[in-house]
Structure 1
Amino acid sequence: MKEEISTKREILEKTAREYFNSAEDEFKKERYNSSLVLFFKSLIALVDLYIFQKLGETPSSHNERFRITKENFPEIYEIIDKDFPFYQDSYNILMSKELVEVIKEDVKKLAEKTKTKL
């Protein structure tokens, strides 16, 4: 069991870091929609890591993630509830540099909460 827990944690940390670094690359190229999507994916990996650290489980869908955070971690819920619509809109609307920077800061907050180095 301990090996499984370590592996799940490591996978979530690695994917969060990978998405974050890819988002940074896209941001430097001024590809803000791609950057936002990748920062949001990093954020979600860190939210899942936080849930795993606190509850020993990971959500299987966005709906479950929202429910778990709303019931147990309202400060985390507020972040993803605020950022999720921008992720959804990124398919239809051009995202601004400033908005992407806000999402990036939210990722950094979650990285700090989970003690994850990005």
Structure 2
Amino acid sequence: MRPCLTALCFACFPLAALADSVHTIEVVNDTRGSIDTFAMAPAGSGRWTEMDFRDSMQDSWFDYELAVTLAFHDHDESCLRDLRTVLSDGRRILVRNFNVCRHHAYRPGTFYRNDHVGSWVMP
């Protein structure tokens, strides 16, 4: 009986390894404009998961001073994520190595106004 139980445990191990980790983040729009899209990827991976905030007419509903809570599922257990925010005026804010385990809210306007290391605004 014991060898069968051990074999069953090892057979289930790959399924446990495939389980998603969930990272929740509140995105607060402090950019004084609208946000078209927000994306998150494991740090340095380039595997972006994107949320689109535009309606069928391509108008963004994620206006200044609104906030949304997003949950991202992936296989990476790490806390460090790259964040990409695309504003309605075309500017993109990219933040590298954001710790989603320590910080549960993200304000993209604060990052580009305060010139944080690892973040930049692209035309």
* Greater relative CO, 1 or 2 (CA 8 Å, sep 6+): 1
User: Same fold per TM (> 0.5)?
Assistant: no
**Largest Rg, 1 or 2:** 2
TM range (shorter): under 0.3
TM-score by length of 1: 0.26
Structure 1 or 2: more strand by fraction: 2
Structure 1 or 2: more helix by fraction: 1
